[in-house]
Structure 1
């Protein structure tokens, strides 16, 4: 095994010595200027963008800047992504962003950036993901964004953006996700949005929208979620055409000052969540049976009258039926829980409080997992005779959060590194170093997560191409919305560490929104991707006789910030530079490109093997650098030809 490994290492050295001379390749100069302007408009108190002060963006591995792997037809490299998630940045967005004309992902999420969105963003015709949520942005939405032909997702939620939704947004033929909730958007929802052929998620809740609900939205051919809670459509009714949106999974119109009747949703075959609470809806509840997928029905705090229809009985996935604070009369239903399997921590809450219910259709004998709330109904005046005292107490049902069961019979993990047990590992008591992800479901299709936790782990681990045991839902908690926030841990596959390329792959899955959508879990948002220990400047301390541990600054200084004038060749592994060390020694520095990075353990193993190889026709390994997102090998420089010259 060692012999084959040494042969492999020799082949790497042979390839290194045969690298071809290359012409200087650099990032497009106008994009370099644009990035410098972007940095100049930002306040970076933690120095996260310090690497932007040296060298070339694409060739110099500027942090949080991802470039295309090859030059374009103009001979330059171009910026593919700006990944500036949660870097504690403030300041403003520079108009020069519009000069990054090849960019596909613009991510400034979860910072403190203020000012307006530059209209020049509309010049980035290649843009697919516009991710600006979680900042302090204000002003209006630029009309120019509506002419981005490749935009898949617009996330501007949790800012202070005001003004109307531009009608030009009706031109976004490829846009699937409109996430513009929690702002100060005002005016009418443009009926023109009904022309959008790809839209699946329309999240406009918690704004100042007014006017009427456009009936035309029912024409959207792929729409899955309408979430418009906490707006002011005063005097408007819910269009009956919304009952014809056969693709719809969730309709949430809570607290929108809506009037008129409850729409008949019996014709929506996959509807899983209906919330029309806190409006002024009148009349009886429609008798049509909802979809068998329904988990949540909330019609509370309206002006509904009549009796509770029988169509709520036998819905197998129902978790919550809230009809409280209406004017409903008649009997308390006694069979809603029929056909529900209460195994696996399933529960059902029936909230009928503060109505005019006067009698029982049958004695109440629900399973233990069913909560019935009858306080504030006339029937409770006879609670003792009817044996319903436990249902007539005033209470509020709150769905709790949860956490993983970390109990174990294993001995403690080693404390020299931040190891944790992989609780579900097929290898007993295996310790490993995890990645940490803060994650939130923005519009889940259920009220209680506990019965769906296993299904969620299967969905997300599969979406990330991980084994089920590699994903742990450490904690989860409900937030206003309702939204479900989670802290996740990702573990390596039966090893102690992730390699660097796997960390990059997993980060890219989250930040590129490459995880497939789920009908029940809805859209997600990434709050933070925390590499933890993997983000340390040094991973594993190496002590190898005769091999020096160089800092990035030493090697950068010796190559004039890895300038093109120092570039002598390139191969599949990366680029080779001629450098001069502080003591005057001339060296060759082999710098790995991003796709070739290894885990620290593998990198250390390679260095250890290379240090053992000694031959008059092989260049000697002098040192290495394993710092931040850099892996470099430092060899003696061969000014008199290559290995081939010596062997021929």
Structure 2
């Protein structure tokens, strides 16, 4: 039979080949084929993203990332219109043969690891509109020849290692609107010749090595909206007075540029919304003329300014931050700044006047709760008690806040969704599973300091630009990064359907990659960091714009049929061989392995696992347990995962393997680790999970990781883990007893959200009898980890939901003390109990947590010890544990600054994100995307860059 299939396939393939050749459809120009081959040869492609670049005609065979015109030009050939190679993990260099793609409009190599210099031959592509090379390791100078690209709309070379001076030839780029060249090593003076560019709107050159003076001529740029030159060295130079004449300017950011002289009077700029002149050597007084009503942020901190705080800061309706700290300002703090403002919704105001010579405050009346005043380091604080301003005289550092927007959550619990689908959080009153598109998106120069008041405006802006409905957009997270820039994770859901159609996916992607979403004055320029097509990836990874004749389409279809037949023959042979091999290998396995049907879980091949882990290289190993080793892997689509590889010939591993798949395939909760898939091939069994970049809770408690977790973060971790276990006990169908709760089975994601893991020992809760009653326990062999085992379960072999409560109580004690459950013959439960009874409990509290309310500590310890009672009935239920932890949380200072974290008394199914808060103590808040601010109780030092 396989031979017959092969013969049929071969015959069809021959017929198809002849059919396509006779069709006479147009092909790509030969010089462009040569160029693409040279481009491919110069690149290193470790994930084989470009493996089809050797098959057939580039346009007609849909080479990955190669998009062609849908008609031939005057020469009768097809031509490359776009080269879209975004975030494919490519390295190597850019080939000079790129210059042969003379009809190309978009060149996109963003977010790869390409090194070397930018080829001067790119200057030959006069049709080029988008030159997108940001996020690589390119070095060397900018070629003068780029100045020949007279149709160029956007040049993005930011986040590379480009050096040398800005070419004066760039003054010929008459159609260019966007110069994004930040975060390089560009040196020299900004050429004054650039002032003749008629369409330039965004000039981003921050974080370079520019020197000399600021060209006064830049004020002549007729359409300039953003001038961002932070962190350069214009040593000893002043800000040109002519910059006050930039009538269209929206944002002026010259932070840490070694500038001298006075602050220019910018009151003549009618739409100015963001001004940052901090960390310079500016002197004199602050101009007294009123700024634009659009202004959201004024930062003049860390200069040498004198005089008083002028009244012109009053009556600014959109002001969010006024930062004047570390100057020599004197006089009174004018309360008029906030008295005339209307605070509605999420609007807030921060006034940071620390470390000046302010001696009084003009009005002692307390400001609204939305106003934060910081006066530490001023003489006025010596009379803090007398003036009733003690709360304003505490030392604080105001950080850009890390935030996760609120989303509207489903009103009912969704059951397991099909593979690659998930509940749409924007749909009310019904469980609606859909397959979303994932978008990583960043605002490069936003015109505000606090995003939350503009959240709805942003949703409207983006959905309108994409021609989507509001309920199709879910803003999963929004995080401030250095810059400041605002990075977002977005999900786009189909419109009243479970799937997008193919044309809609292509349209949405092209809107992002072609920068077809209109610019916004408020939100500024954006950049696409990643476009994850998820479910649609396999079918649409290589969208093509090339239009083919009907005959060619038929030929391709027949070719596909032939290929399928041939592939079927090959697969049949391989399956027969594999089956024989499997039978041999199966004899080595335990006869107790129970085959189960695995729905909704992706199966991976051993080859895919090898590829993801670089053949299980030791450098990718991140852990090891009784089951086997755990590796950090990167799947072919770029997804980072954790791969748990069972030890071979492990009977225990085989049982745990199927138990965990069976359970996790139908468990979906924010505080449970997600199963991505599995590999069950020959003698290999592997489980593939979402990757938890912050490791295990045990790693952090043990001191293996240097930065300690502060108390608020520990409490939030305890609450998250408790909600996950509560879900297992009450919401899972049927309920589940975990049976191995311990610190090493509580994982932490990038935001330090706790996720319970490792369900290999879990057991289903008792099933109700015919009369509706259910036994309270499961009789089973004792399994678990010493130090965490419920004593009653150990003695009676009766597993109950309170067995998990006991284990969780031990974890709570670990969080509070930093001790191990059993160490040098000492048991943590006994040690803490004795310390509590003797009134010495604070002597064993982990000092690395920093300061925390003693009442919170006492209640947390009391709860932990009640969880660890020997008698089952003396322990609280999981719902009681969650409720008490929420009560403790509300007693913490962080609770006052947390406005959107769902601290609820339900089962924990509502999962909103972190708050928009400027309080550096808040465990949900950090300006450091690495999460280090979550770790330490100490206030970080903020450097100017």
Shift of residue 341 of structure 1? 2.7
Please give the secondary structure, in 2, of the residue aligned with 1:518.
coil
Is this contact kept in 1: 2:411–2:428, CA < 8 A?
A: no
Could you report, residue by residue, the CA deviation over 1:164-201 in whole angstroms, capped at 9, with x for unpaired residues?
Answer: 00000000000000000000000000000001000000
**CA distance in structure 1 between the partners assigned to 2:499 and 2:161 by the alignment:** 41
**CA distance in structure 1 between the partners assigned to 2:555 and 2:501 by the alignment:** 18
Could you report, residue by residue, the CA deviation over 1:385-439 in whole angstroms, capped at 9, with x for unpaired residues?
Answer: 0000000000012232222446533222433323223233367432211110000
Which one of 496, 506, 523 corresponds to residue 525 of structure 2? 523
**Equivalence for 1:456:** 458
**Equivalence for 2:878:** none
**Equivalence for 1:209:** 210
**CA distance in structure 1 between the partners assigned to 2:305 and 2:350 by the alignment:** 20
Alignment of 1:53-452 (within 5 A): 53-405=54-406, 407-425=409-427, 428-452=430-454
Please give the secondary structure, in 2, of the residue aligned with 1:50.
coil
Is this contact kept in 2: 1:427–1:494, CA < 8 A?
A: no
**Equivalence for 2:505:** 503
Is this contact kept in 1: 2:325–2:352, CA < 8 A?
A: yes
1:535 aligns with 2:537: yes
1:486 aligns with 2:488: yes
Could you report, residue by residue, the CA deviation over 1:34-75 in whole angstroms, capped at 9, with x for unpaired residues?
Answer: 000000000000000011011000111111100000111100
Alignment of 1:633-644 (within 5 A): none
Please give the secondary structure, in 2, of the residue aligned with 1:51.
coil
Is this contact kept in 2: 1:344–1:451, CA < 8 A?
A: yes
**CA distance in structure 2 between the partners assigned to 1:583 and 1:49 by the alignment:** 22
**CA distance in structure 2 between the partners assigned to 1:375 and 1:275 by the alignment:** 22
**Equivalence for 1:592:** none
Is this contact kept in 1: 2:417–2:433, CA < 8 A?
A: no
**CA distance in structure 1 between the partners assigned to 2:563 and 2:90 by the alignment:** 35
CA 584–297 in structure 1, closer or farther in 2 if over 3 Å, else same: closer
Higher relative contact order (CA 8 A, sep 6+): 2
Is this contact kept in 1: 2:414–2:431, CA < 8 A?
A: no
**CA distance in structure 1 between the partners assigned to 2:339 and 2:305 by the alignment:** 25
CA 580–328 in structure 1, closer or farther in 2 if over 3 Å, else same: closer
Could you report, residue by residue, the CA deviation over 1:588-612 in whole angstroms, capped at 9, with x for unpaired residues?
Answer: xxxxxxxxxxxxxxxxxxxxxxxxx
Shift of residue 583 of structure 1? 11
Please give the secondary structure, in 1, of the residue aligned with 2:551.
strand
Is this contact kept in 2: 1:569–1:576, CA < 8 A?
A: no
**Equivalence for 1:472:** 474
Is this contact kept in 1: 2:411–2:429, CA < 8 A?
A: no
CA 72–390 in structure 1, closer or farther in 2 if over 3 Å, else same: same
**CA distance in structure 2 between the partners assigned to 1:538 and 1:222 by the alignment:** 38
Could you report, residue by residue, the CA deviation over 1:340-399 in whole angstroms, capped at 9, with x for unpaired residues?
Answer: 332121110000000000112221421001000000000000000000000000001223
Give the stretch that moved more between structures: 254-263 or 421-430: 421-430
Is this contact kept in 1: 2:410–2:430, CA < 8 A?
A: no
CA 199–584 in structure 1, closer or farther in 2 if over 3 Å, else same: closer
Is this contact kept in 1: 2:411–2:430, CA < 8 A?
A: no
Could you report, residue by residue, the CA deviation over 1:564-585 in whole angstroms, capped at 9, with x for unpaired residues?
Answer: 9xx98147x9966568848999
CA 365–97 in structure 1, closer or farther in 2 if over 3 Å, else same: same
Please give the secondary structure, in 1, of the residue aligned with 2:336.
coil
CA 345–95 in structure 1, closer or farther in 2 if over 3 Å, else same: same
Answer 1 or 2: which has greater strand percent.
1
Shift of residue 319 of structure 1? 0.1
Give the stretch that moved more between structures: 104-113 or 356-365: 356-365
Tell me the TM-score normalised to structure 1 length: 0.81
**CA distance in structure 1 between the partners assigned to 2:400 and 2:121 by the alignment:** 45
CA 584–498 in structure 1, closer or farther in 2 if over 3 Å, else same: closer
**CA distance in structure 2 between the partners assigned to 1:342 and 1:536 by the alignment:** 49
**Equivalence for 2:616:** none
Aligned pair count reads 543
**Equivalence for 1:7:** none
Is this contact kept in 2: 1:105–1:130, CA < 8 A?
A: yes
Shift of residue 538 of structure 1? 11
Report the aligned-residue RMSD.
2.3
**CA distance in structure 1 between the partners assigned to 2:21 and 2:126 by the alignment:** 36
Instruction: Provide structure 1 residue ranges, at least 5 long, that are not aligned to the other structure.
Output: 1-18, 540-551, 553-563, 586-627, 629-648
**CA distance in structure 1 between the partners assigned to 2:564 and 2:346 by the alignment:** 68
**Equivalence for 2:516:** 514
Answer 1 or 2: which has greater helix percent.
2
CA 418–24 in structure 1, closer or farther in 2 if over 3 Å, else same: closer
CA 386–129 in structure 1, closer or farther in 2 if over 3 Å, else same: same
Tell me the TM-score normalised to structure 2 length: 0.56
**CA distance in structure 2 between the partners assigned to 1:284 and 1:114 by the alignment:** 47
**CA distance in structure 1 between the partners assigned to 2:360 and 2:499 by the alignment:** 63
Please give the secondary structure, in 1, of the residue aligned with 2:52.
helix
Please give the secondary structure, in 2, of the residue aligned with 1:398.
coil
Is this contact kept in 1: 2:410–2:426, CA < 8 A?
A: no
Is this contact kept in 1: 2:410–2:424, CA < 8 A?
A: no
Is this contact kept in 1: 2:405–2:455, CA < 8 A?
A: no
**CA distance in structure 2 between the partners assigned to 1:263 and 1:73 by the alignment:** 56
**Equivalence for 2:29:** 28
**CA distance in structure 1 between the partners assigned to 2:564 and 2:48 by the alignment:** 30
Is this contact kept in 2: 1:430–1:494, CA < 8 A?
A: no
Shift of residue 330 of structure 1? 0.5
CA 303–60 in structure 1, closer or farther in 2 if over 3 Å, else same: same
**Equivalence for 1:16:** none
**CA distance in structure 2 between the partners assigned to 1:353 and 1:162 by the alignment:** 38
Could you report, residue by residue, the CA deviation over 1:448-479 in whole angstroms, capped at 9, with x for unpaired residues?
Answer: 00111111010001000000110111001100
Shift of residue 537 of structure 1? 6.0
Is this contact kept in 2: 1:203–1:225, CA < 8 A?
A: yes
Please give the secondary structure, in 1, of the residue aligned with 2:32.
helix
Is this contact kept in 2: 1:21–1:570, CA < 8 A?
A: no
